[in-house]
Amino acid sequence: MNSINLICWAQSLDNVSADHIEENGTMVDSGNKSSRQKIVSQISRVTSKGNKAFSDQVITIYLLRDEFLIDLPAEQKDIRGRTAPIICCGNIPQEWSEEWPASVISRMEAFAKRIDRSISSEHTEIAMDMLTKINQKKNDSSQLLPLIGKIGIIIAFLICLLLLLRR
């Protein structure tokens, strides 16, 4: 599978320090304003304009055209006792990929470990299942649309032919 671009984000647990941002496996320093703002804007766009493809009060997945965003809770809470989500955002592959769901989860787990947090296996299993379904659905619709288009053209051609012959 070609390398995929993934962004990971997590708010600091003390609610004061810089939030943790990683792009394609590399941490984005708090001084790198333009990259960080671009990433935060991407996360905002997907959450505000996208649809909730899955939500069970713990895990949420947003979809916006070819983009996805997944929110998994870390096992650690913030200083106020609030749930601290780990976010991953990127593009869904154009073609079916058996490795894609696992690569997203693996990236999130590695990011969590990097910032001294962890994600429960119960949550990663549910997330893996949901991402697999999303990838499968996307693959199905990307094969279905050209087929519907072809059938539509054939029907339109036959109707026009029939009308011409009846004259």
Partner 1 sequence: MPIPLIVVAVLAGLGLIGGGAIYLNWDKIVVSWSGKKLAVLGARATGKTHLMQFLSTGTIPSGYKQTYGTLNTDARRFQLRELDLKIKKTKDVSGGYSDDVYPEWKSLIDDADIVFYLFRIDQMLASNKDTENRVHQDMRHIATWLNEHPNRPLFFLVGTHGDLAQPDFTKIAENKIGDFYDRVRNIEAIQDAILFVGGAKNTKLILGSMKDQEWTEGLVYQVMYQLQES
Site residues, partner 1 (CB under 8 A): 9, 11-12, 15-19, 21, 30, 33, 36-37, 40-41, 43-48, 69, 71, 73, 78-85, 87, 155-156, 159-160, 163
Comparison of 37 and 94: residue with beta carbon closer to partner 1: 37
Comparison of 28 and 134: residue with beta carbon closer to partner 1: 28
Residues 6+ apart with CB under 8 A from 34: none
With tokens 């032919």, the residue in question is 161
**How is 140-162 classified by DSSP, letter by letter?**
HHHHHHHHHHHHHHHHHHHHHHH
- Smallest distance, partner 1 to C-beta of residue 62, A: 8
- Smallest distance, partner 1 to C-beta of residue 118, A: 16
With tokens 């780990």, the residue in question is 86
- Smallest distance, partner 1 to C-beta of residue 145, A: 16
Residues 133, 62: Cα–Cα separation, whole Å: 13
Q: How far is CA 50 from CA 21, 114, 138, 154, in A?
A: 21, 28, 15, 34
Comparison of 147 and 163: residue with beta carbon closer to partner 1: 163
Contact 117, 74 (CB under 8 A): yes
- Smallest distance, partner 1 to C-beta of residue 151, A: 12
Comparison of 56 and 99: residue with beta carbon closer to partner 1: 56
